[in-house]
Amino acid sequence: MISEEEVLTIFKEKGALIEGHFELSSGLHSGRYFQAALVLQYPLYADKLCRALAQLFEDKDVQLVISPAIGGIVVGQKVAEVLGTRAIFAERREGERLILRRGFKINPGENVLVVEDVITTGGSVKEIIKIVKESRGKLVGVGCLVNRSGKKMSFVVENTPLDKSVKREAVQLKSLLNLKLETYPKEKCPLCKRGLPVVKPGSKGLGI
């Protein structure tokens, strides 16, 4: 199993922990940003990290891996490869919540694992969990490479299996690296007050 120190070293060596002034997908601002794509562009590291993530869920009888586009697609594919199952992704049009497109579907009663590259507030994960519930799939786990909130995080879900009985459960987030990086609401951001230009990295804004 890979250690948190090894994960952080990989991100630093590949320049994927970036200093600056960023608006995250959650809307919060931060002086540091994890650009996981700079690590995942190397198949060797993508395989190493995603294999370790997949091992955290080997006992969950995962039948489907789902992730949010674009950042989570590579992670979802690699984790599904290790677990020997299929992988799909959810995506959004501007201003819309995450949805399934391209003929993707979750079968009723299917054991579903949600994975992400980097999580701050878990907003995208919550949207995907709603998709799982609406499809009558069963959420069996949530995982990510980096939990940058520095907090233990769990997601409450009402699984509705084929017998139609509702089971309310709290699913704990599992990650390879837990690290507290300061975030700020826009109106309280010290970087904004200093007049530093803000960048919206990743799939929702400017690539960096």
What pLDDT, in 10s, does the model give residues 38-95?
999 999 999 999 999 999 999 999 999 999 998 899 999 999 999 999 999 999 877 6
**Res 166: pLDDT:** 58
Please give the DSSP secondary-structure letter assigned to residue 85: S
Q: What pLDDT is recorded for position 207?
A: 39
pLDDT at 156: 81
Domain boundaries, the chain: 4-193
Q: How far apart are the first and last CA of the chain?
A: 30
CB atoms within 10 A of CB 5: 9
* pTM assigned to the model: 0.84
pLDDT at site 112? 96
Whether the pLDDT of residue 206 is over 50: the answer is: no
> Residue 23's Cα: distance from chain center in Å?
17
Residue 7: pLDDT band (50, 70, 90) is very high
Query: Is the distance from CB of 79 to CB of 53 less than 8 angstroms?
Result: yes
CATH of domain 4-193: 3.40.50.2020
pLDDT digits (tens, 9 = 90+) for 18-37: 888 999 877 889 988 888 99
Q: What is the DSSP secondary-structure string of 178-199? A: E----EE-GGG-HHHHTTPPPB
Size (the chain), residues: 208
- What digits encode the pLDDT tens for the residues 101-157? 999 999 999 999 999 999 988 889 999 999 999 999 999 999 999 998 888 888 887
